[in-house]
Amino acid sequence: MLAPVSASLFALTALHVPPALGADVVRAPAPTVTVQADAMLDEVLRQLVSLGDQSVTYERSTSEALQATSCGLLADVSVPEDRLQPLVEGLLALQGFALTAVRVEAPRVLVVHRAGDARIDPPVFQVESWDQLEDSAALRVSITQSFPHLEEHTLAAMLRPLSRKGILEITAEEDRAVFVGSGVQVADLIAVLRSLNPDHPGDEFPSPSDFFTEASGPLVIEGSPSLLDVLVDYSRITDVNPSLTAKARESLAETRIASAGDVVARDQVHEFVSELLHVHGFSTAILCFSEPRLLGVFSRERSRMLRRLPVRLESPEELSRFASLEIIMPLALQTLDARQLPTTLRPLLADAGPSTSLFSSGRDRLVLGGRAADLRECWSFIAEADGEAR
């Protein structure tokens, strides 16, 4: 039985006062919405629906789960009304929920369900352009994309291990593939596959440094704070909004950091915190790249459920700047045969971590995916072997 969420629709309008002749026009700021740090997902969804244009519905069991699941934020987050949807989608995705549109015409109707629920029908929301999906962390979409630069057998073989029922489903035929999954997952993978074409070398990839901008001040660690305390302080001096799964919050609160009054410089704050999270077994994912900057923090076994940011870097050492971040990256080889490496490197990949993946896209192209710190050794080994083989 589906339980609809009813909403009172309202509009926020600024009081209009005609300006005096020759006077400057002062525009009212855009209306904002604040999501409370202690809000449950059910409350956050109601805030979204109250803005109008769409409705959500879900089963009774899902309703109970939404009422019992915290949004995971460490602090209140205020956003313009038109940025509430990306924030809500990121919070839902982190906590293991997805959205599927059953009606795309206004008013849109979305079903909220557990990610990977095999009973949910394929999405009716079909998109024409993959680069319009960067804010859709929870909304499931369907898109067909051609890759004429990839051979038919190569495309099918490389995409097969990436397909997961109910999470990211991929069907390849000839030089075309149909992707069904969350918007950001689909968009990121398509961006990487396009970058394997010499005509599209990955210039459109976002840069992690654009997300992790310099902190407003140093990070001071005194006494023996928990890692959760460190994250709270981190959120206060950066424009990053961390959100945690319940399991991660509990583990972070139990993890103590021994300190002798350490002071981390402004330009080292992001790297320091990311390395701390990595060392203690946590992963992070950028769930909303632009405002609000939402960073999910979770245990490593959840990594394949969430976003992997496509990146292009110059050397393995650059991965140290965001050690805990889930990424996916193409590599160009000079001499080694990329087709042999997935088998050759299987033991190294197993040691790197359960979420680490590697596939080839022809003789001289590789794609690595996983937590940045886990990819350092793999990339270093590949780069050294490729250089020695020249």
DSSP secondary structure letters along 302-349 = GGGGS--EE---SSGGGGGGGTTBEEEEEEE-SSS-GGGHHHHTHHHH
Domain boundaries, the chain: 1-7+31-121, 140-202, 210-303, 314-388
User: What number is the average pLDDT over the span 57-61?
Assistant: 92
Instruction: Kindly state the tokens that stand for 186.
Output: 């689909």
pLDDT in tens, 196-210: 876 665 556 888 888
Q: How far is CA 240 from the centre of its chain?
A: 13
Confidence bin at 303 (pLDDT 50/70/90) = low
Matching CATH topology for 140-202 and 314-388?
yes
Cβ proximity of 72 and 94 under 8 Å: yes
**For residues 91 and 36, what is the distance between their CA atoms, to the nearest angstrom?**
12
The pLDDT of residue 352 is above 50 = yes
Which CATH number is 210-303 given? 3.55.50
Residue with tokens 């990311």, as numbered in its chain: 274
The CATH topology of domain 314-388 is Ribosomal Protein S8; Chain: A, domain 1 (3.30.1370)
pLDDT in tens, 201-245: 555 688 888 899 999 999 999 888 999 999 999 999 999 999 999
Instruction: Kindly state the tokens that stand for 90.
Output: 């990121």
**For residues 130 and 186, what is the distance between their CA atoms, to the nearest angstrom?**
7
User: Which pLDDT score is estimated for 93?
Assistant: 95
**For residues 226 and 208, what is the distance between their CA atoms, to the nearest angstrom?**
26
Which of 383, 311, 325 has the alpha carbon at shortest distance from 355? 325
Which of 67, 44, 69, 66 has the alpha carbon at shortest distance from 113? 66
Confidence bin at 19 (pLDDT 50/70/90) = very low
Residue with tokens 């992707």, as numbered in its chain: 179
The CATH topology of domain 140-202 is Ribosomal Protein S8; Chain: A, domain 1 (3.30.1370)
pLDDT in tens, 71-87: 999 999 999 999 999 99
% of the chain at pLDDT higher than 70: 84
